């Protein structure tokens, strides 16, 4: 059995689409999944990446694209009332349901549906209270979204993801290899099936291609 670490942030529509698509893509294989919430903003900031929402035309395209992808794969996806938004309350709520930084599929799905179904405000106070109530039997004793333990778990998760080379979500870690994005799922399946390509030179050789761009000029 292969063990997959699924790095996700609930602010990402692609994380929602990949969450729904994963069981179908990996049908028939022996695997387990650890869902690990991370702060996408910190991953992007590490590399000076503004994210799709930071580039106006790309933002427009991304929202059209994910809405179409939801339609195409049969996954209900409605843009929330505001996006992007600060996902910290949702990440901490999820990790109030965790002892080790991982959450189960029920918790992950509940948070993702909270954001991506219905077109509501993900941070509406009444909806956050209802979300906490829905997860009440999953929350660890003495914890809630405002507790220090979920905050510490989120920091640790994000730092570990950065150290592992995760630069965005959704990302999937398996045996030291990373697969990124919804469109990386077929490649993930091929690896889990033992595709001989992964034993050849291309995995390491392709990224070693020299850059044709001049080095960045250091700022004074």
For residue 115, give the CATH number of its domain.
Answer: 3.40.30.10
Alpha-carbon distance values, 33 to 26, 58, 111 (Å): 11, 31, 17
Listed residue (155, 176, 151) closest to 165, CA to CA = 176
Pairing of strands 31-37, 171-174: unpaired
Asked whether 5 and 188 are in contact (CB, 8 A), the reply is no
Give the Cα separation of 127 and 129 in Å (integer): 5
Other beta carbons less than 10 A from residue 165's beta carbon: 12
What lies within 8 Å, CB to CB, of 186 at 6+ separation is 25
Residue 220 counted as domain residue = no
Residue with the larger pLDDT of the pair 53 and 193: 193
Q: What is the pLDDT of residues 140-195, one digit of tens each?
A: 999 999 999 999 999 999 999 999 999 999 999 999 999 999 999 999 999 999 99
Give the Cα separation of 102 and 179 in Å (integer): 18
Residue 94 counted as domain residue = yes
Q: Is the pTM of this model over 0.75?
A: yes
With b for 16 or more beta-carbon neighbours within 10 A and e for fewer, the 69-86 pattern comes to bbeeeebebeebeebbbe
Task: Determine the pLDDT at residue 218.
Answer: 46
Task: Determine the pLDDT at residue 54.
Answer: 87
The total number of structural domains that make up the chain: 1
Taking residues 105-118, report their average pLDDT.
Answer: 98
Q: Print the domain residue range for 101.
A: 2-196
Task: Determine the pLDDT at residue 88.
Answer: 98
Taking residues 67-96, report their average pLDDT.
Answer: 98
Residue 209 counted as domain residue = no
Q: What is the DSSP letter of 103?
A: B
The pair of structure tokens assigned to 142 is: 């003495």
Give the Cα separation of 143 and 77 in Å (integer): 30
Residue 156 counted as domain residue = yes
Task: Determine the pLDDT at residue 53.
Answer: 85
The pair of structure tokens assigned to 68 is: 């179409």
Task: Determine the pLDDT at residue 216.
Answer: 66
Task: Determine the pLDDT at residue 51.
Answer: 86
Percentage of residues in the chain having pLDDT higher than 90: 94
Residue 85 confidence class, pLDDT cut points 50, 70, 90? very high
Q: Is the pLDDT of residue 43 over 80?
A: yes
């Amino acid at each position: 059995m292969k063990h997959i670490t699924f790095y996700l942030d609930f602010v990402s529509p692609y994380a929602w689409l990949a969450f729904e698509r994963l069981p179908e893509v990996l049908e028939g294989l022996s695997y387990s999944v650890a869902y690990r919430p991370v702060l996408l903003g910190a991953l992007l900031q590490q590399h000076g990446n503004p994210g799709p929402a930071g580039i106006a035309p790309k933002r427009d395209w991304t929202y059209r694209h994910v809405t179409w992808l939801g339609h195409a794969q049969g996954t209900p996806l409605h843009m929330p009332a505001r996006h992007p938004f600060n996902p910290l309350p949702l990440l901490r709520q999820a990790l109030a349901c965790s002892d080790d930084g991982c959450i189960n599929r029920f918790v992950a799905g509940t948070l993702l549906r909270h954001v991506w179904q219905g077109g509501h405000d993900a941070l509406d106070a009444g909806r956050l209270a209802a979300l906490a109530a829905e997860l009440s039997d999953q929350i660890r004793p003495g914890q809630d979204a405002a507790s220090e333990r979920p905050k510490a778990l989120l920091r640790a998760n994000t730092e570990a993801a950065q150290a592992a080379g995760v630069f965005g979500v959704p990302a999937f870690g398996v045996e030291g290899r990373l697969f990124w994005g919804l469109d990386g799922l077929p490649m993930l399946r091929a690896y889990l099936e033992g595709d001989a390509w992964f034993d050849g030179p291309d995995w390491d050789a392709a990224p070693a291609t020299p850059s044709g761009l001049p080095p960045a000029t250091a700022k004074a």
